[in-house]
Every structure is written in structure tokens, then in C-alpha cells.
Structure 1
């Protein structure tokens, strides 16, 4: 039973950045913006988070810098796609590749080439009084870090904003029929740009989660495609915060299972297979999914007619 509890605890822990990144993607894609720069946003968040925390000795500074870095990258993507009307997928991919090179370059400029990895203390677990004592779910759910609690509180908030407020209606209108939204007096350009900016902030925090909450160090491969997994979770969750949460936990279980099996060291199956398990799961679930409620104008730039 304890093995099961440990697995679920780890799954929730590992799902946190995926859910957080997916929530940002849901907000952006509901307005019609396909933020394909998400992998780069995750990476720059990890880079900024580690540098901020290491140089200041304060994890809060690290998370704030990660959020700012994610915001800057998302604004670059937003300016080129929303205001300059460049292709969303192509520009997002280009931005992600640019960020990868910049992070490696500036990390070496700041710290040089390290023979021993630099480290920071990771964010501590906080046990919620009474709730953490509940059998099974107490340890799994109520013995996590602050970022995990923040992420799971954010799910119902974003759900409420999208489906129960006029702001959410405006966002969904921009993704479904931007011409009609514009005619109704909604500033489509501003709405999309702000949604992309929020997605960048959340993606930056999600990226910082890996060095500041998980491994305590940074390297160029630390994200390892998990930004794309968050991107896929948005699709699999049908652009719904609750769906993003469900599939985020599923991928968290997949990730935790791979770590658990590799740690046991008794499996005859190559460890690389378990490392690839989350990515295999993305492909399998996408192929098996029969219906997607795709925003009608997702990925389509909007040019206002004079």
C-alpha cells in the first residue's frame, strides 16, 4: 500500500508543471493563439528560475525571474504573430529554437563551463495540518509544495473565468469567430495578446519547477520535451481546465512510474523505454481520441479589415 501511496504522491508532484503549462495553453488557445513556443518558454523559465535562485539565494526571486523570462518570450511570440501576422506554428518553433541557443550561451557567459553542476536547495514540502493525516490521499494530495497547491487551486479559477464570466466569453469568441467578436466591440488583438502573456507567465513558472522543486540544478536538457507534453495535454483535455488536470495527472502517473521502475533497477525492460513512456502516451491517446472540440479559428491570424 505504501508503494502505491508513494507512486500517487510522485505522480501529483510530477504532474504539476504539466498542468500549469497546459492551463496557460488553454487560455491562449481559447482565444485562437496556438502557442507553439511553449517548449522554449518552459526552458527559459527553468534557466531564469535557476539563475535567479542561485544568485540571490532565494527561491521566490527564482520563480519571479522565471515568470518574467517566460513573459518576455511569450511577448516576442505575440508581437510577431498577433501584430506582425506571422505564421503561428513556424514562428513558435523558431522562437523555441532561438531560446534554446540563448539559454545555453548566456548560462555559459554567467557561470562558465562547469565541471561540477551548480545546485540550489529545492522548494520544501508543506504538510497541511489535519488533511495530511487522512489515509492515503492525505500524503498524496496534502503533502506537496506551494507550487502544486497553487496549480490545483488555479484549475477551478480558470474554469470559472472561461465559462462563467464575460471575460471568458470574450476569449472564447475571439477563438471561435474573431470577426463577430470585433463587431461586438471586443478588442481581439488585445485579448489574444494578454492571453499569450498569461500563458508565458504560467509556462515560465512551470519550467522553473524542474530545477527549483525537483532536481535542484539546471542543464540544457532539463525540460526534455515536457513543454510539448503540456501542449498535447491542452488538446487531449479538449481545451478545458478540468480536462487539462485529468490528463496532466495521467501523464504524471506515467512519468512517476518510469522513475519508480528505473529506481528499482530490477526490470529487464530497458530504462529508456520508461523515459519515453510519456511521449508514447501522447501519441497513443491522440490517435485514439475520436473527437476534439477545437476552437474554430485556432492557429488562424486575425487581420482587422479597414
Structure 2
């Protein structure tokens, strides 16, 4: 499990991260979304122990990074945004090389490598040169390289940047497989171009803190509460506007033909009451609903 409590970072008297709290359980993916410059890479590097924490603490499996850096790092797999260059190495040699770096070469059997390559659908590429591979394949190799040490936590910085829709979908499939191996995965992204399971969480990083977090359904529901009512009226729009203006929960009204948009600050019970009032006054309502947002519109609304 990955846990952060009141984590802060200051660069040249500028607050990059402040009072940040976050928890990623084993068997879960946490998608950290934030615009460029909001501190995602800084946070990932802090978790990996590459830069110091100025405030708060980071825990992996309940062990604080500041007190047990070597123990914690053995439980962590970190993938930076840049892959690096590995001239004259085949994919298999790349993995064996990192096995030696991790001091686990004796434990990394040929069978284990075959299993990992098969899981990532790279078995046919094991003898091919690393530098000749597409970005998607290099990302897969980075993931496999991390799995050589069987870490409990994976931290992936801007992992899906620069990939097309098909490549992202394939990598997400692999990530879900790894998640189901009881791994806690933190993946950062400058936008909304990644998928998670129903139980996985998202968080939007802005001005050094996570302004909203939860499952995709929870976040969109939270934002949708501030969306306007959208009505389509068959006729008598003037009467509909009159009814809406009498409602204290309606803040503003705009029209586009037979469509009415009403700012709304009320509950579901208030929506039911308003609809009944419209029908009682003889207003023929074709549709009546709260405006909906997808993840991308939620992201822009929260970061504008």
C-alpha cells in the first residue's frame, strides 16, 4: 500500500506541493491527473526517493520512506517518463541487465522472463533490439523490468503520454493484469487519456494539492451537482420560465429555442417538485434532466 500524509515540497521559495494526502491500496490503480507544471513528476520522484520530502511523510506498506529508504525502495517499482537509450541491447538483454542491477539476477530464471514477456505479449520480440521498438513496447518493457523485483507499489510518471488510442488501450489491459496481482499502482497523466476499473480512483492535482478524488462515478456525480437543469419544452416556454423564476433553487435561466437551461442549487427532491409544478401549470415537458459531464469536461471545469 502507498500512503502519503501532509506531503509538501518547496522549490526556490515556491510551493510545489502542500499538505497532500493520498492512499492507494493493493489491488487498486490511482490515476493522478494534472496540467503540466502542477507537480506530478515531483511527487513521483519523491515517492521513488530521488528527491527529498520537505514536509510530511510517504509510507509504503506502513514503513516511512524517511526512516527506511532502502527497505522501501525494494518494495517500489518506478517508471520515469523518459525511457532512455540502450544501444545494442535486445529486449531480453535489457531485462537481464536490470536484473543484475537489482541484484536479483540469480532469482530471475529463464522461466520467469518468459512468463513476463508472454504476459506483455512481447515473447516474439525478445531477440529484437530495444532501440528499434515502438514507444508502446518500451513502456511494456519498463513495466516488466519493475516486476522483476516483485514490488508491492508501482509509480508510473506520465506513463501513457505520446501513445495513440489503440496503444493506450493495450497498455491499460496490461496495467489491469498487474493490478490484479495485488499491486498498488499510481499513474500520473497530464490529461484524462487512461482507463481504470470501477473500483479504481482518480485525483485531480491543482496548485499543489488534490482538489477532488474518488472513483470516476463519484467525481462526475460531485461535479454534476453544480450542472444546470436542461429542459426541452413542446410549447408555452414563457410559462415554463415563469414557473422557474419563482423557484428559490434556480439561480439563472437561459433559452435556446425550446430548450431551457437553468442554474440550479438544490436536491433531487427539489428537481421532482419543480417538474411537478411545471406539469401542474400545463407546461408540456419533453425532457427534464440534470446536465451530465464526462471525465474530460470534469477535468477542465476543475482546473480552469
- TM class by shorter chain equals under 0.3
- Structure 1 or 2, whichever has the larger Rg, is 2
Per the normalisation by structure 2, the TM-score is 0.23
Per the normalisation by structure 1, the TM-score is 0.22
Q: Which has the higher contact order (CA 8 A, sep 6+)?
A: 1
Could you say which structure has the higher helix fraction?
1
